[in-house]
Amino acid sequence: MTKEELIKSFERNNWEFHEIYKQKLMALSYGDLLDKLIHLISQQAITVFGG
């Protein structure tokens, strides 16, 4: 699985990344990318409401 496929899979199963963040993720090594995505899965969701 390529890094791009890994990110798309994560987005499909969790949430979508902003394009700037996707670029930062793509710049990581494959191992670092996996570590980052695993870390994100373990975090509680933060919801921001505009007002």
* Structure token pair of residue 35: 């570590």
Q: What is the pLDDT of residue 14?
A: 80
* Rounded-to-integer distance, Cα 44 and Cα 33, Å: 19
pTM listed for this prediction: 0.73
Q: What is the pLDDT of residue 1?
A: 92
Tens digit of each residue's pLDDT (9 = 90 or more) over 1-39 = 999 999 999 888 887 888 999 999 999 999 999 999 988
Task: Indicate the pLDDT class of residue 51, thresholds 50, 70 and 90.
Answer: very low
